[in-house]
Amino acid sequence: MAFILLCGLAVLLIAALLGQPAWQRYRRSRVRAGAFPATWRKILQRRVPLVRKLPAHLQLQLKKHMQVFIAEKSFLGCAGLRITEEMRVVIAAQACLLILNRATDYYANVRQILVYPGAFFVNRTSLDYAGVQQENRQALSGESWSQGQIILSWQDTVEGAAVPDDGRNVVIHEFAHQLDQENGAARGAPPPTLGDTYYDARRWSQVFHAAFDQLQAEVHHGVQGLLNHYGAQDPAEFFAVVSEVFFEQPRALATEYPALYQELSGYYKVDPADW
């Protein structure tokens, strides 16, 4: 009797696991079918001017993505910050820019979004040139963890959204890292979406490393060009930095780095230079 009961429970568990994707699709379709709240629309108009640049069909798609994103993600306030509707909407709008026109699982690895009032401090250990271990305390505006958390400064989030053409956006930066981490450690080579016929790993590597080398040369010679020198640290930071510029300064990026812009446009499935 116990054996039969155990087998029955196993069958039910397997059925539940197999049915989970279908249930998830159904639940998400129900969320997307709901009306976009009027209060959210007002928040977008006031806080995220970049949304107004999008073609009408992309604005609609973005709003539907935001509804699912907000329904599924847990937002946690840190250092006494109370999470508000405005915070959820502003963060979701910028994060969902990166998944327009793409097969998406809505950042499946992201479980929590931790929000601080302003810059937050972390302690880091590093080795200096002599091999001596150094303890450093750094102030950060954002961070992406492979364990399923995104950490953001609300002040920097608002400021990044308010100026949509300066190439600086902490939300885009950190969620680009999450895309890069979907197949392991971030290394500047995010996996293509399912069914992507454009992506070519060899071409991507050639274009990205040429642009990365150019940025490192600019840093070495003290030249400040279009791209933030922060992106010269490693390929992962380079991908996050150029993603910010792709969405906020697309025409300049297309002019100065045409091959790089083409790769990003093929990956993100949008062409912001035409918005």
DSSP conformation letters of the chain: -HHHHHHHHHHHHHHHHHHHHHHHHHHHHHHHHSPPPHHHHHHHHHH-THHHHS-HHHHHHHHHHHHHHHHH-EEEE-TTPPP-HHHHHHHHHHHHGGGTTS---SSTT--EEEEESS-EEEEEEEE-TTS-EEEEEEEESEEE-TTSEEEEEHHHHHHHHH-TTSS--HHHHHHHHHHHGGGSS--S-PPPPTT-SS--HHHHHHHHHHHHHHHHHHHHTT---SS-GGGGS-HHHHHHHHHHHHHHSHHHHHHH-HHHHHHHHHHHT--GGG-
**Chain centroid to CA 209:** 21
pLDDT at 115: 98
pLDDT at 18: 47
pTM of the entire predicted model: 0.88
pLDDT at 21: 87
Domains of the chain by range and CATH?
22-274 (3.40.390.10)
Distance CA 243, CA 11 (A): 45
Residues facing 104 on adjacent strands: none
Ranges of the chain whose pLDDT falls below 50: 5, 7-18
pLDDT at 138: 74
Distance CA 80, CA 78 (A): 5
pLDDT at 121: 80
pLDDT at 195: 75
